[in-house]
């Protein structure tokens, strides 16, 4: 073997990349602030156009959720939590970087950045400090420090989604369920529904003022998929404008100078991008090819340049720039050193019939035949009102490189397949989706794509819950099981979620009093006696969504029964991984666990 010949990449090689989670472009477009874990933990870093090396802006080492450049260049505004607790606080940073200054500190509460005025002098934000269940919305004058309460949340979590150019009119969203987010126009304290009947369950996804009297919205009101509509404030008229079959039109951005409306759409496991030129007669949505499979975040600058942060199965989040009439230009080059783009495996989209004839879409990763080790990992996604899409997962690429196959169904309740399909999981966490998973496994067997005695099971959040439930009700399928912060008992989970979740839980999950038997039937902890396979449980100590007790009670009960169970608690994490060292340690442990039980 020559000295310049190397062995196969280690698991750490797949995870040693910088993830960008948010960004903001300065008004002159000469600087970009990015939230990234380039240094191993998350901070703000700066990119200067024309300089091919980033510079660090903050030194907090915490997950950053949002970032905004002051249009006048006086500050950078961002929000961050502490060790995964999701209690985001707001901070101001000097444009050149330095020590962050906290704004309106509220320990143990959430402060959410909503909007920054065009002159940068006023900040709109939501907080649960005085309204834990529904949030209040405020306007803070950054020049004088004066603050005013604009909208008091009632009936559902309430957020200002958009502000008119004259700052007199607000688009306000009320969340009654993930599948029922109503939109309202609020002016001088008077509320008007955007859609004709606000009592009809629907979702308003995006809204954009094109002037002080008109806005465009995306909504699935009275339709299966979200479409583009226009609202006239003077006449209160709601008018559908455009839709694309089988796609959810979601986010909107307005290019005021060129009178162009950009629309991001979700098309199953990928995203699509469109522009509508409002200067022409009979404007229509025109497609623009994306440089990525999924868009994480995007913006349109005053110049009309579009900036997109996005990813694919083999590429982590990267920034791209688009000027109409020109191709996309990459700004960053994040890459996983363990992945060779020429040989990496892309997902195949497959479909199978479930127990009741419903067709389920799934992603299937399979290495070349000569590299397969015979084992398949079953992956139920989180959410559950979410979907497994063409996103970047280091662990998937690592396992496929090691010879594993990877199967990720979008069971009923997943997003992207119409409103009705998404609602099917509400009040039925453990029956329909579980049977969809089992039907998928049986389909793999029938198609000779997987072997009956060589299945592993792994999932996170709702996927962790489903992994536990499948283990308890169908242990014969699996050699070993990994649960990453999944609920184990629906009764205790229902009562321990964040306060802002509690008003929607009866729709989302069900009622533990009136549906007690259903809760027992769908709780993994009901089936402890059948959980006989080796298990690995991962839990963040600060998880506010699935609290540590959910894993503690499961592990304690199984250990009392003498079961083979390993328990890994991350003391400085929440519902996910904000620190690269923790992420690598967890997935190295999972890889070793699966090798041990082959």
pLDDT at residue 1, rounded to an integer: 62
In tens, the pLDDT along 298-338 reads 999 999 999 999 999 999 999 999 999 899 999 999 999 99
Which domains can be identified in the chain, with CATH numbers?
A: 19-143 (2.120.10.30), 348-488+524-597 (3.40.50.1820)
Looking at residue 523, the DSSP 8-state letter turns out to be: -
Torsion, CA 396, CA 397, CA 402, CA 406, rounded to 10: 40
Torsion, CA 404, CA 408, CA 409, CA 415, rounded to 10: -170
* Alpha carbon 567 to chain centroid, angstroms: 26
572 vs 580: CA distance, rounded Å? 12
Compute the 3-state secondary structure of the chain and give helix, strand, coil in percent, each to the nearest 5: 20, 35, 45
pLDDT at residue 143, rounded to an integer: 96
381 vs 460: CA distance, rounded Å? 7
SS3 labels along 319-347? EEEECCCCCCEECCCCCCCCCCCCCCCCC
Strand order in the sheet with 43-48: 20-25, 31-36, 43-48, 55-56
Helix, strand or coil for residue 477?
A: helix
Phi-psi region of 150 (alpha: psi -120 to 50; beta: other; left: phi over 0): alpha
432 vs 383: CA distance, rounded Å? 15
Helix, strand or coil for residue 531?
A: coil
Task: Show the low-confidence residues of the chain (pLDDT under 50).
Answer: none
Looking at residue 534, the DSSP 8-state letter turns out to be: -
Q: How many CB atoms lie within 10 A of CB 169?
A: 18
Structure tokens belonging to residue 357: 């004839």
pLDDT at residue 7, rounded to an integer: 86
Say if residue 339 is exposed, middle or buried (CB neighbours under 10 Å; 0-12, 13-18, 19+): buried
Cα–Cα distances in angstroms (integers) from residue 134 to residues 1, 155, 500, in the given order: 65, 7, 6
In tens, the pLDDT along 521-573 reads 999 999 999 999 999 999 999 999 999 999 999 999 999 999 999 999 999 99
Torsion, CA 237, CA 243, CA 246, CA 248, rounded to 10: -60
Say if residue 2 is exposed, middle or buried (CB neighbours under 10 Å; 0-12, 13-18, 19+): exposed
Q: Is this structure's pTM higher than 0.75?
A: yes
Are 297 and 309 within 8 A, CB to CB?
yes
Q: Please give the angle made by the CA atoms of 456, 458 and 397, to the nearest 5 degrees.
A: 85
Helix, strand or coil for residue 562?
A: coil
189 vs 182: CA distance, rounded Å? 17
DSSP string of 242-300, one letter each residue: E--TT-EEEEEEEETTTTEEEEEEEETTEEEEEEEETTSSS---EEE--SSSEEEEEEE
């Amino acid at each position: 073997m020559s000295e310049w010949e190397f062995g196969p990449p280690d698991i750490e090689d797949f995870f040693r990349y910088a993830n960008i989670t948010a960004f903001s472009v300065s008004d002159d477009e000469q600087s970009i602030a990015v939230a990234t874990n380039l240094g191993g933990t998350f901070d703000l870093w700066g990119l200067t156009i024309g300089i091919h090396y980033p510079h660090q802006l903050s030194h907090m080492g915490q997950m950053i959720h949002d970032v905004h450049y002051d249009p006048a260049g006086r500050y950078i505004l961002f929000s961050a939590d502490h060790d995964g607790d999701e209690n985001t606080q707001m901070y101001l940073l000097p444009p050149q970087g330095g020590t962050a200054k906290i704004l309106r500190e509220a320990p143990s509460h959430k402060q959410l950045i909503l909007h920054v005025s065009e002159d940068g002098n006023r900040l709109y934000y939501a907080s649960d400090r005085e309204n834990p269940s529904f949030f209040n919305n405020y306007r803070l004058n950054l020049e004088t420090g004066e603050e005013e309460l604009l909208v008091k949340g009632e009936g559902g979590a309430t957020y200002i989604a958009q502000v008119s150019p004259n700052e007199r009119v607000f688009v306000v969203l009320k969340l009654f369920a993930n599948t029922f987010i109503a939109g309202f126009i609020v002016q001088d304290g008077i509320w008007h529904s955007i859609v004709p009947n606000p009592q009809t369950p629907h979702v308003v996804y995006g809204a954009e003022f094109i002037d002080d009297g008109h806005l465009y919205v995306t909504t699935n009101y009275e339709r299966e998929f979200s479409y583009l509509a226009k609202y006239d404030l003077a006449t209160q008229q709601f008018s559908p404008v455009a839709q694309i079959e089988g796609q959810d039109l979601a986010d909107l951005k307005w290019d005021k100078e060129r009178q162009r409306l950009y629309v991001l759409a979700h098309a199953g496991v990928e995203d699509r991008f469109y522009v509508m030129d409002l200067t022409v007669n009979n404007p229509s949505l025109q497609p623009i090819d994306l440089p990525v499979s999924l868009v994480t975040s995007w913006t349109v600058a005053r110049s009309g340049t579009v900036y997109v942060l996005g990813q694919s199965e083999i590429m982590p989040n990267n920034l791209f720039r688009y000027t109409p009439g020109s191709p996309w230009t990459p700004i960053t080059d994040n890459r996983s050193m363990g992945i060779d783009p020429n040989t990496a495996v892309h997902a195949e989209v497959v479909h199978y019939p479930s127990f009741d004839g419903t067709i389920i879409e799934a992603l299937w990763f399979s290495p070349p035949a000569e590299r397969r080790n015979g084992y398949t990992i079953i992956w139920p996604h989180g959410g559950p009102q979410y979907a497994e899409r063409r996103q970047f997962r280091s662990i998937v690429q690592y396992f496929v490189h090691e010879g594993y196959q990877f199967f990720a169904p979008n069971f009923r309740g997943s997003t992207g397949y119409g409103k009705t399909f998404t609602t099917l999981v509400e009040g039925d966490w453990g029956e329909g989706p579980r049977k969809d998973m089992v039907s998928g496994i049986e389909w793999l067997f029938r198609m000779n794509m997987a072997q009956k005695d060589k299945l592993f099971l792994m999932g996170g959040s709702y996927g962790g819950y489903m992994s536990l439930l499948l283990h308890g009700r169908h242990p014969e399928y699996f050699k070993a099981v990994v649960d990453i912060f999944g609920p184990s008992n629906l009764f205790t989970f229902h009562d321990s979620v964040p306060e802002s979740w509690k008003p929607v839980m009866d729709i989302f999950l069900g009622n533990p009093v009136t549906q007690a038997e259903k809760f027992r039937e769908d709780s993994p902890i009901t089936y402890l006696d059948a959980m006989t396979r080796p298990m690995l449980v991962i839990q963040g100590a600060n998880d506010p969504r699935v609290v540590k007790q959910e894993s503690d009670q499961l592990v304690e009960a199984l250990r009392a029964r003498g079961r083979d169970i390993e328990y890994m608690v991350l003391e400085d994490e929440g519902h996910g991984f904000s620190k690269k060292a923790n992420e690598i340690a967890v997935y190295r442990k999972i890889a070793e666990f699966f090798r041990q039980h082959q």
